[in-house]
Amino acid sequence: MSAVTALRPAEAPVAPSVTLADIRAAAERIRGAIIRTPTIESPAVSRAAGTRVFLKLDNLQATGAFKERGAANRLALLTPRERDAGVIAMSAGNHAQAVARHAQRLGVAATIVMPRFTPATKVVRTESWGARVVLHGETLAESAAHAHDLALREGLVFIHPYDDLGVIAGQGTMALEMLEDAPEIEVLVIPVGGGGLCAGIASAVAELRPGMTVFGVEVEGYPAMAQRLAGQPVSVGGPTIAEGIAVRDVGEAPLAALRRLGVEVLLVPERAVEQAVALLAEGAKVVAEGAGATALAAVLTYPERFRGRVVGTTVCGGNIDARALSNVLLRQLLRDGRIMRLHFDIPDRPGVLADIATRISALGGNVIEVKHQQLFGAPTVQSTELHLMVEVRDQMQGDAIIAAMEAADYVVRRG
């Protein structure tokens, strides 16, 4: 884990930027087109983080993510000629649905280019908003190249997911709402993929609350913005639950904004993102995708940075696959010691399995899975392998169950 502070070199050219006036104009422009989502304090999350934490629930948008803000604002800025021509975007996720939805709302034809590997459910959802979906390329980069080619050939307006000042201004409207609803917030923690959301929020905060700290957050496997800010070559890759921010090519406009505003980017491990997803689901009763939980993951990973400060974080998306969410919750239960995997070598005689189950039950444990291998797995024909999955309240109760098994002369190991 590491952190990189953005420093603006004296020789760096001044790039076009988004102002508070632009963001306020965007807020008026998209009023009624998006949901003004709540900002809530979660006692459970605050307890886990060791400080007060407010959550901005943009996972409640119609498409399940904050991307609607930028898409709605950028599409509202189209000229009559551009509306007649239609728009095109490249995305395998939330930006695709956001552009499709707001294009449909405005009566603008939309084409979305998605990689061939895009899950069918995402294709169907995007098409349900009236967009023409083109599946092209094995990677996002190949899809982007094809989208630009189609834009030139068909005269379409390309709507970039993050490297566009209209999109950045739209994303920045989240800061206006957060600070209006929870003025006690002292520091903001924002996920970074291409950088549009963090750039928009940091730009708003720079004028609304001069001196307020804004942190960006990336996962360790995809630290592209941190590397660019530090002047390092970009090296990213590997599987991540935060696929929504797993980018190689960050936006040049967001990069310039974060550098100019001195935003520090924190890196978090995969395990912390899973922990944050589970904490939001179990503690706050909020469903978040990996990218949407990354900001909270940073608060949990760097407690010394936030102790004693009122923190605002964004749950910027909730589009997580049900199976992935289930796996995350089960993995967290195992890590917390609330589910134990116990392995026994037991004598092969009647009543032993019942005795073990009775002893576990007497101590309040709940056996939720049993695997009993009598024929081939055991070291001798006189013994049996037994594997149990046991639900307990906490680590202490689990330790008590193991101690009771050993006191009864059972050979048991946790695994």
Whether residue 346 contacts residue 377, with contact meaning beta carbons closer than 8 Å, is answered with no
Whether residue 346 contacts residue 353, with contact meaning beta carbons closer than 8 Å, is answered with yes
Q: Quick one: pLDDT at residue 14? A: 54
For residues 144 and 150, give the distance between their C-alpha atoms in angstroms, rounded to a whole number: 10
Q: Quick one: pLDDT at residue 121? A: 81
Going residue by residue through the chain, which has 415 residues, state the pLDDT in tens, using 9 for 90 and above.
Answer: 444 433 333 344 556 789 999 999 999 999 999 999 999 999 999 999 999 999 999 999 999 999 999 999 999 999 999 999 999 999 878 999 999 999 999 999 999 999 988 888 889 999 999 999 999 998 878 898 999 999 999 999 999 999 999 999 999 999 999 999 999 999 999 999 999 999 999 999 999 999 999 999 999 999 999 999 999 999 999 999 999 999 999 999 999 999 999 999 999 999 999 999 999 999 999 999 999 999 999 999 999 999 999 999 999 999 998 999 999 999 999 898 899 999 998 887 888 889 999 999 999 999 999 987 655 555 555 678 889 999 999 989 999 999 999 999 898 988 7
pTM over 0.85: yes
Whether residue 132 contacts residue 111, with contact meaning beta carbons closer than 8 Å, is answered with yes
Nearest C-alpha neighbor of 44 from the set 283, 296, 332, 300 = 283
C-alpha Rg value of the chain to the nearest Å: 25
Burial class (CB in 10 A: 0-12, 13-18, 19+), 138: exposed
CA dihedral 322, 325, 330, 333 (to 10 degrees): -140
For residues 28 and 47, give the distance between their C-alpha atoms in angstroms, rounded to a whole number: 36
Within 10 Å of residue 259's Cβ, how many Cβ atoms? Answer: 18
DSSP state of 280: I
User: Phi/psi of residue 401, each to 5°?
Assistant: -65, -45
Q: Quick one: pLDDT at residue 9? A: 37
Instruction: Go through the domains of the chain in sequence order and give each one's CATH number.
Output: 3-66+164-332 (3.40.50.1100), 87-155 (3.40.50.1100), 337-414 (3.30.70.260)
Within 10 Å of residue 319's Cβ, how many Cβ atoms? Answer: 21
- Contacts of 305 by beta carbon, 8 Å cutoff, 6+ apart: 215, 266
Q: Quick one: pLDDT at residue 207? A: 97
Q: Residue length, the chain?
A: 415
Q: Quick one: pLDDT at residue 3? A: 46
For residues 78 and 84, give the distance between their C-alpha atoms in angstroms, rounded to a whole number: 9
